[in-house]
């Protein structure tokens, strides 16, 4: 009896053991080896932009900022707290990655089962893209972390009915949008969870039900309006609109129109590395067996998928928006797979003895194949993630260029470069309007050659580094640099360092 009781207790506690093991492994993946230089272009832009905020320059008015108004202040706060290092920025995204894992587990636990929550968390932890971008400074991971937290709170509201949960879910969702516009993909799901709360309510009339739903929607948008206005209070609205909204609309026009089937193939090509997600994706649709709450959850990955399908241009970091959404739906859907199994068992019971034998044998064989494929893929993804972390510790050729910049300039002197991460690594400032010199900004006309030259003159620039081919698309700037900076060091095809004597 004691042995049986011990086994029963261990089985009941196995879920908590699995949670602890999973989170410890996630902590190892996310936080080990942080602080190394990252050659991600966006990382350099955000760090250098935040550094110029530390110097007293304002976003939108002086520092070009194409992201919503909460993103750069978040990186600015990290630099203030942890110093002007890559580690400071990386801590923002790694912590957001951990929040995402916890939020996905909570969603799956509330709407599905404990086993489904472990599956959902595993899919996020072992996602190659999730790991890569959780260790890289970008707005996508913190945005989706808040979206996941919002969905977890909304699911709790649908189950427990406390309007404080709805207000918190609304706050998390709007903050997600104010970090990255793709956070809006979670909004339909939030509204559906509010509707689900009153669909379950008993002993109320239809009119009361509609009134309560209307009140909840008013609360959602009131919270949205309050936080949005508060976040915009320090900026001029026209500047934010021009750089966050109009800029992205202009960027879409720069790129040629792409047929739907080509966009589909692009999305599938980017998803191909997410093998575990692809393998388990059919389970996501089963979450809708949970009624309106299941539909509310499924709306999150579905709307995100449609948004990504319409995104132009589409890069791999944009897929961060769909990974937790799909993982949560898969985790909940896995709990409803028993419904299909029960239907299969009832059908098989009505068949002849020989067919039942074949059916059970086929079912067992398919289960073993799926289990074996899943275990094999988990092992492969684990090995790949550990290899990825080790590769980040390798020295970058950018370090040598940073040393050259340090050697030929002094602290406080400004430089111009199309690789802002190198400027940040070297501890050098850039003119505030040139913290972002992206191809898209150049192609849309949001950055013109004369503006680069004028900024160089205004801030008495001492050095120009052409490193990422972005300045090569502005030949006027290259000619000006060659004329006004007599000393030149060729660093390879299209890479040149221009300096004063």
- Tell whether the model's pLDDT for residue 353 goes beyond 90: no
Which of 76-90, 127-141, 362-376, 451-465 has the lowest average pLDDT? 362-376
Q: What is the pLDDT of residue 56?
A: 93
- Tell whether the model's pLDDT for residue 1 goes beyond 60: no
Q: What is the pLDDT of residue 48?
A: 96
Phi, psi (rounded to 5 degrees) for 387: -65, -40
- Tell whether the model's pLDDT for residue 342 goes beyond 70: no
Which of 77-81, 113-117, 301-305, 454-458 has the lowest average pLDDT? 113-117
pLDDT tens column, 161-220: 789 999 999 999 999 999 999 999 999 999 999 999 998 777 788 888 899 999 999 999
- Tell whether the model's pLDDT for residue 449 goes beyond 90: yes
Phi-psi map region of 412: left, alpha, beta (phi>0 left; psi -120 to 50 alpha)? left
pLDDT, average across residues 66-81: 96
- Tell whether the model's pLDDT for residue 291 goes beyond 60: yes
CA nearest 139: which of 329, 315, 296, 386? 315
- Tell whether the model's pLDDT for residue 7 goes beyond 60: no
pLDDT-derived band at 367 (thresholds 50, 70, 90) equals low
CB 437 within 8 A of CB 470: yes
pLDDT tens column, 230-279: 999 989 999 999 999 999 888 888 887 778 888 888 888 888 888 889 88
Q: What is the pLDDT of residue 226?
A: 96
Q: What is the pLDDT of residue 261?
A: 83
- Tell whether the model's pLDDT for residue 381 goes beyond 90: no
Residues in the chain, overall count? 501
pLDDT tens column, 263-272: 888 888 888 8
- Tell whether the model's pLDDT for residue 12 goes beyond 80: no
Query: How far apart are the C-alpha atoms of 98 and 486, rounded to whole Å?
Result: 50
Phi, psi (rounded to 5 degrees) for 59: -60, 150
CA nearest 224: which of 180, 174, 169, 190? 174
Q: What is the pLDDT of residue 165?
A: 94
pLDDT tens column, 36-65: 888 889 999 999 999 999 999 999 999 999
What percentage of the chain has pLDDT greater than the value 90? 59
Can you read off the two tokens belonging to residue 206? Answer: 């239809």
- Tell whether the model's pLDDT for residue 425 goes beyond 80: yes
Query: How far apart are the C-alpha atoms of 457 and 449, rounded to whole Å?
Result: 13
CB 439 within 8 A of CB 313: no
Instruction: Give residue limits of the domains in the chain.
Output: 39-336, 351-392, 398-499
CB 103 within 8 A of CB 151: yes
Which of 186-190, 420-424, 470-474 has the lowest average pLDDT? 470-474
Q: What is the pLDDT of residue 347?
A: 67
What is the rounded end-to-end Cα distance, in angstroms, of the chain? 87
Mean pLDDT of the chain: 88
pLDDT-derived band at 35 (thresholds 50, 70, 90) equals confident
Query: How far apart are the C-alpha atoms of 469 and 457, rounded to whole Å?
Result: 22
- Tell whether the model's pLDDT for residue 489 goes beyond 80: yes
Q: What is the pLDDT of residue 11?
A: 57
Phi, psi (rounded to 5 degrees) for 137: -75, 110
Residues 6+ apart with CB under 8 A from 27: 98
Can you read off the two tokens belonging to residue 17? Answer: 């053991």
pLDDT-derived band at 3 (thresholds 50, 70, 90) equals low
- Tell whether the model's pLDDT for residue 446 goes beyond 80: yes
Give the pTM.
0.91
């Amino acid at each position: 009896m004691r042995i049986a009781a011990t086994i029963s207790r261990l089985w009941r506690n196995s879920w908590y053991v699995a949670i602890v093991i999973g989170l410890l492994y996630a902590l190892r993946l996310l936080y080990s080896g942080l602080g190394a230089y990252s050659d991600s272009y966006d990382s350099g832009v955000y760090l250098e932009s935040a550094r110029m905020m530390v110097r007293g320059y304002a976003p939108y008015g002086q520092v070009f900022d194409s992201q919503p108004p909460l993103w750069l202040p978040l990186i600015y706060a990290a630099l203030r707290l942890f110093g002007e290092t890559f580690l400071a920025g990386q801590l923002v995204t790694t912590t957001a990655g951990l929040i995402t894992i916890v939020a996905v587990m909570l969603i799956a636990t509330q709407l599905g089962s404990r086993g489904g929550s472990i599956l959902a968390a595993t899919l996020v932890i072992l996602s190659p893209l999730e790991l890569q971008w959780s260790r890289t400074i970008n707005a996508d991971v913190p945005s989706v972390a808040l979206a996941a937290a919002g969905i977890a709170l909304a699911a709790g509201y649908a189950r427990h009915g406390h309007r404080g949960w709805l207000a918190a879910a609304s706050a998390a969702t709007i903050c997600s949008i104010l970090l990255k516009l793709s956070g809006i993909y979670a909004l339909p799901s939030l509204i559906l969870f509010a509707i689900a709360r009153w669909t379950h309510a008993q002993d109320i009339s239809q009119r009361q039900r509609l009134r309560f739903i209307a009140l909840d929607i008013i609360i959602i948008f009131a919270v949205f309006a309050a936080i949005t206005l508060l976040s915009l209070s320090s900026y001029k609205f026209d500047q934010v609109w021009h750089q966050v909204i109009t800029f992205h609309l202009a960027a879409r026009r720069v790129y040629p129109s792409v047929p739907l089937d080509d966009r589909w193939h692009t999305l599938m090509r980017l998803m191909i590395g997410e093998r575990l997600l692809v393998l388990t994706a059919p389970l996501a649709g089963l979450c809708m067996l949970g009624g309106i709450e299941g539909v509310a959850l499924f709306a999150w990955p579905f709307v995100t998928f449609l948004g990504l399908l319409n995104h132009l241009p589409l890069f791999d970091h944009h897929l961060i928006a769909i990974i937790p959404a799909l993982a949560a739906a898969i985790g909940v859907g896995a709990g409803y797979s028993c419904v299909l199994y029960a239907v299969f068992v009832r059908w098989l019971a009505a068949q002849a003895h020989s067919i039942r034998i074949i059916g059970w044998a086929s079912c067992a064989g398919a289960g073993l194949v799926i289990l074996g494929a899943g275990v094999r893929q988990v092992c492969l993804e684990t090995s790949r993630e550990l290899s990825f972390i080790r590769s980040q510790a390798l020295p970058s050729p950018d370090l040598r260029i940073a040393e050259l910049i340090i050697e030929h300039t002094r602290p406080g002197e400004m430089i111009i470069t199309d690789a802002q991460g190198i400027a940040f690594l070297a501890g050098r400032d850039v003119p505030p309007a040139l913290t972002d010199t992206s191809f898209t900004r150049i192609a849309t006309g949001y950055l013109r050659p004369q503006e680069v030259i004028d900024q160089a003159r205004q801030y008495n620039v001492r050095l120009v580094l052409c490193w990422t081919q972005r300045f090569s698309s502005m030949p006027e700037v290259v000619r000006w640099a060659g004329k006004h900076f007599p000393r030149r060091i060729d660093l390879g095809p299209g890479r040149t360092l221009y300096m004063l004597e």
